[in-house]
Amino acid sequence: MRWTARLAAAVGFQGVIVAGFNFMVNLWLLKRHRPSALAAFFLTQPIFGVVAAGLLTGDVLTVDLLLASAAVAAGIGLTSR
């Protein structure tokens, strides 16, 4: 594997934005709301990650990714009834 500027940017984005910012927002939300009220929101994070990858980095949203996102959404719907 060869380090490139694009790879470094991707690793930085993952570490700072995805992990760091997400962790801070999750803690902030948990201080103000019950975990059970936030469960459905927390479960949507993989879907937001797929959409963000498509919008920010131009990754192709394949049929497999869209089907997986739909399966996650269906699972959220089934568990939150």
Residue 59's pLDDT band, with cuts at 50, 70 and 90, is confident
Give the pLDDT confidence score for residue 4 in this predicted structure: 94
- Backbone φ and ψ for 60, nearest 5 degrees, come out as -75, 130
pLDDT tens for each residue of 5-32: 999 998 898 888 878 888 898 899 999 9
pTM: 0.57
Report how far residue 37's alpha carbon sits from residue 53's, in angstroms, rounded to the nearest whole number: 27
Helices 45-56 + 63-79 axis angle, to 10: 150
Residue 63's pLDDT band, with cuts at 50, 70 and 90, is very high
Q: Are 28 and 68 in contact (CB under 8 A)?
A: no
Report how far residue 18's alpha carbon sits from residue 57's, in angstroms, rounded to the nearest whole number: 13
What percentage of residues in the chain have a pLDDT greater than 70? 99
